[in-house]
Amino acid sequence: MMEQSLPVGPADIDAAARVIAPFAIRTPLLSSPALNERVGANVFLKAEMLQRTGSFKFRGAFNKISSIPEDKRSKGVVAFSSGNHAQGVAAAARILNVQATIVMPSDAPLSKRERTKSYGAEVVLYDRDRGDREAIARSIAEERGATLVKPYDDPFVIAGQGTAGREILEDMAALGTKPDIVVAPTSGGGLIAGIATAVKARYPQAQLIAAEPEGFDDHSRSLAAGHREPHASGGRTICDALMALMPGEITFAINRKLLSRGVTASDAEVGAAIAFAYRELKLVVEPGGAIALAALLAGRLDATGNNVVIVLSGGNIDADLFAEFVARH
């Protein structure tokens, strides 16, 4: 049984599912004979790139903004994000008639910046190497009396992301099967924390694994150490959505209890996974969204003979970069 002391429980995810149901897309759980044959496992792909705004982030953003009391909504919301959380917050805010301001790095993919603006949000750009996005966002929120919508370290956000795990379990049950291994892209840890909460409540023996870019392995390090540790990378990864320095406080309180371990994949392996998803699965996946698939294809998981769920968390990739990966691999 899951410990009751964890910050988010299955009941919170059930409540979030009711809140987002009229607005979020129930994304499909896909399978591919070609993929199964290649890795020797029964693989199920949770296609979150088909979610509203092109990533899972809409789930948590909508659940969080819906929780804001009516008298505070008029002050607006503020978020900080490299792109997917930005779009999720902007879209959710528009539906709920709340003004959104998003602090984004100036080097975020153009498609993510433009889409965020298209939902009616105000975009404030900052220098990723010199600025502190959270400090900038907090300053704006305090000045305006607005609500800060964090990208992962918030129980309402985590519960919203956990609805993806709830759907995975329901769809697998309908197929008469259950998950042995579930792997999800991990940055601050909100998605894997929510999914792990849903899955472990029903299947305590399932392995929940965090997938991270090579060098940006803060969850792997933290899980091994038993406490939060930053990654050691001072560089960049093509997985722009997965560059958090260390796990969140709330997310890690969950993940240290529920996750089995972390795995990594290199940028080259991610590029190959993007090309594989396009050629074999006919899916468009962004680098951060493809990290779990990349780890599977690179043999980082003991997948043979298991029911493996791979979360494809987003598909917001610039067309020229996508074409480059497909041509290269």
HSE (CB half, 13 Å, CA atoms) of 104? 29
CB 191 within 8 A of CB 251: no
Is residue 3 domain-resident?
no
Structure tokens given for 68 = 């804001």
Final residue in a domain of this structure, among 148, 169, 184 = 148
* C-beta of residue 276 within 8 angstroms of C-beta of residue 240: no
Q: How far apart are CA 318 and CA 158, in angstroms?
A: 27
Number of domains within the chain: 2
Q: Model confidence over 254-307: pLDDT tens digits? A: 999 999 999 999 999 999 999 999 999 999 999 999 999 999 999 999 999 999
The answer to whether residue 271 is domain-embedded is yes
Mark which of 148, 175, 200 sits at the end of a domain: 148
Instruction: State the pTM of this model.
Output: 0.95
pLDDT single digits (tens) 68-96: 999 999 999 999 987 899 999 999 999 99
Give CA–CA dist 26/64, Å, rounded. Answer: 18
| Pair 35, 70 in one domain | no
Per run of 10 residues, the mean pLDDT along the chain (length 329 residues) is: 75 98 98 97 98 97 97 96 90 97 87 89 90 92 96 97 98 98 97 98 98 96 95 87 92 98 97 97 97 98 96 94 93
Q: Has residue 143 been placed in a domain?
A: yes
Pairing status of strand 147-148 against strand 77-80: parallel
Residue 4 located in a structural domain: no
- Which residues constitute the domain of residue 143? 57-148
What is the per-residue pLDDT for 292?
A: 98
Check whether residue 281 and residue 317 sit in a common domain.
yes
Residue 225 makes CB contacts below 8 A (sequence gap 6+) with: none
